Amino acid sequence: MNMNNHRHNLRSGAAVAAMALCVPLLGGCSTATEASGLDDTITFAYPAIANSNTWETMAESYEEQTGAKVEVEAIPIDGYNSALSTRLQGGNAPDMFLTEPGTNGVGTGVTTLGEADLLGEVTGAATDLINPDELAAYSVDGKAYGFPLWTVPKTAVTIDSNLEALGGKWPETIDEMLAMCTAAKGQNLSFTLGQFGNPFTADGQTLLVATSSVYAKDPDWDEKRARNEVTFSDTEGWHYALQTVSDMFSAGCYQDGAEAAAGEFLADVMAGVTPPLASLSTGEADIWKVLADALPAEGFSVQAFPGQTAENRRVINSVKYTVSSSAASEKDEAIQAYIDWLVEPSQRQQIAELTGGIPAGELNEETLPEVYAPIGKFVTDDQVISEPGLGIWPDAVLQAMQEGVPGLFTGQKTVDQILGDMDAAFDA
């Protein structure tokens, strides 16, 4: 046998050996899949943040009660949108997953994904949880593609000990608030957290003011804007809202460096340090749960954000996430069974407790979690409104607000310019 023949035989032998190894391995995988009954198991994906295991807990409860399995996939929140949209379009999406009402850019907006025929239709009891006023944010051509299981008010969360240091009385009007901001600075406290390096802070803060200056006076403002009967620029309430955010910055309502801050405070909170703030007022109020877990000695309350007048104060009830299923999934029965189980009142209650929110469905003052007690009056008096613009505004309107508001602090933008940009974005 010469050298070439020897090498050839070695190569052939290696190839045969590799195939011999691969075939049983692949066969073993398929056999294991069949044997474990994974065909009945549905997968559920959600955007993961630290210390959150809501969906793992629900899956365990479901398996205990029904024997059916739900495989939970926690996708890091910063890559969730792109991961979900890529997998949906690639045909390998999870069977169920969390989405967001409306369009919401790329990836997780219910109507965006519904229009692309990527979501399964929601039917049955789950559709009863959708607020009829917000149907446009959950449906395409009359078919619903997502439903809420819990809601979270967008309003202020107070750190009670720091509020006590400022006299203990939460302001009811913008004027009272601006006066309190100045007083708070004298005690090395800030009235509220400003994180304008994060886009959502700018629009979140503006919309909180607009609840009283725009929507308390004209609840149908969004519908009128859609019919071009009003514009942002010619609505006094919007001028007031943007000017108020600018005034808050000038009055020192936010901590130093708020114009570029982007979540740095959370590092201190996680280290057990109480932030020198009287409140947090952008984003959803379920932040109280994160704070309470990190700072167990502190007390927290959810309060209505100060209004143009005390009577005009409103609370936004926001749906942070919706539940949807993949149109490509072939496990319709298993998905429907899990949905039917999730929408039962006891499950909604459990999810609300785990997330720090409120069970989706009819709001009731008596059943509000204790931390939400201060806004109970607003529930009773029917002063809870839907999220402004939901299902009506194009995404570009919020983007114009997000980009423009920090410019009020730096002198790069005026209120009129931002409102003009918002109108242009709406009409584009």
Partner 1 sequence: MKTMTSGKTTSEQDEPEKHPAEIVRPLRLSNGRPLIAFGRWWWAAPGMILVFLIHFVATLTGGYFAFTDYTGIGSFQFIGLANFVRIAQDPAVVGVIGTTIFYALIQMVGTTVLGLLFALGLNRGLKSRHVLRALVFLPLALSPLAVSYIWKYVFQYDGLLNESLLQLGLGDLRRTWLGDPDTALWTVAVVILWQGTGLAMVIFLAGLSRVSPEVEEAAALDRANQWQKFWHVTLPALRPSIGIVTMLGLIFGLRLFDPILAMTGGGPVNSSKNLALLVYQEAFSRGNFGYGAALSMVLTVIILFFAILQQFITRNRDV
Of 31, 53, 89, 92, the one binding partner 1 (CB under 8 A) is 89
Distance CA 428, CA 139 (A): 23
Of the candidate spans 107-115, 217-225, 300-308, 317-325, the one that interacts with partner 1 by CB under 8 A turns out to be 107-115
Closest separation in Å from C-beta 398 to partner 1: 10
Taking the least distance from each CB to partner 1, the nearer of 299 and 420 is 420
CB 71 within 8 A of CB 63: no
Q: Is 249 in the site for partner 1 (CB under 8 A)?
A: no
Q: How far is the CB of 424 from partner 1 (least distance, A)?
A: 11
Whether the Cβ atoms of residue 96 and residue 104 lie closer than 8 Å to each other: no
Note the maximum CA span of the chain.
100
Q: Is 412 in the site for partner 1 (CB under 8 A)?
A: yes
Whole-number minimum distance, CB 259 to partner 1, in Å?
A: 4
Q: Which residue from 164, 256, 344, 427 is in contact with partner 1, where contact means CB under 8 A?
A: 256
Q: Are 307 and 240 a contacting pair, CB within 8 Å?
A: no
3 in contact with partner 1 (CB under 8 A): yes
Burial (CB < 10 A; 0-12, 13-18, 19+), residue 355, is: buried
Q: Which is nearer to partner 1, 292 or 327 (CB)?
A: 327
Do the bridges between strand 96-99 and strand 322-325 make them parallel or antiparallel, or are there none, so unpaired?
Answer: antiparallel
Q: Which is nearer to partner 1, 67 or 411 (CB)?
A: 411
DSSP string, 209-220: HHIIIIITT-TT
Asked if 416 touches partner 1 (CB under 8 A), the answer is no
For partner 1, the closer CB: 77 or 373: 77
Site string for partner 1, 260-289 (x = CB under 8 A): xxx-x-------------------------
**Phi and psi of 261, rounded to 5°?**
-65, 150
Stretch of 158-166, 281-289, 326-334, 401-409 lying at the interface with partner 1 (CB under 8 A): 401-409
Q: State whether the Cα torsion 273-276-278-284 is positive or negative.
A: negative
Contact yes or no for 157/281 (Cβ under 8 A):
yes
Can residue 407 be called a binding residue for partner 1 (CB under 8 A)?
yes
Q: Which is nearer to partner 1, 199 or 299 (CB)?
A: 199
Does 404 sit near partner 1 (CB under 8 A)?
yes
Q: What distance in Å separates the CA atoms of residue 148 and residue 155, rounded to the nearest whole number?
A: 19
Cα(24)–Cα(36) distance, integer angstroms:
18
4 binds partner 1 (CB under 8 A): yes
Q: Which is nearer to partner 1, 82 or 92 (CB)?
A: 82
Residue 365 in contact with partner 1, rule: CB under 8 A: no
Say whether residue 105 binds partner 1 (CB under 8 A). yes
Q: Taking CB under 8 A as the rule, does residue 327 contact partner 1?
A: no
Nearer to partner 1, 140 or 304 (CB): 140
Residue choice 56, 127, 197, 329 for contact with partner 1 (CB under 8 A): 197
- Site membership for partner 1, residue 350 (CB under 8 A): no
Q: With contact defined as beta carbons under 8 Å apart, do 389 and 397 qualify?
A: yes
112 is written with which tokens? 């965006």
Q: Which of 89, 169, 99, 92 is nearest to 130 (CA)?
A: 99
Amino acid at 149: L
Task: Among 93, 113, 163, 180, indicate the residue that binds partner 1 (CB under 8 A).
Answer: 113
DSSP for 170-205, please give it. Answer: PP-BHHHHHHHHHHHHHTT-EEE---TTSHHHHHHH
Q: How far is the CB of 194 from partner 1 (least distance, A)?
A: 10
CA distance 149 to 90: 27
Q: Which residues contact 401 (CB under 8 A, 6 or more apart)?
A: 202, 203, 206, 418, 422
Instruction: Annotate each residue in 49-88 with x if it binds partner 1 (CB under 8 A) or - if it does not, as one string.
Output: ---------------------------------x--x--x
User: How far is C-alpha 4 from the chain's CA centre?
Assistant: 66
For the segment 115-144, give every residue that binds partner 1 (CB under 8 A). 115-118
Q: Is 259 in the site for partner 1 (CB under 8 A)?
A: yes
For partner 1, the binding residues (CB under 8 A) are: 2-4, 82, 85, 88-89, 103, 105-107, 112-113, 115-118, 196-197, 199, 256-257, 259-262, 264, 395-396, 399, 403-404, 406-407, 409-410, 412-413
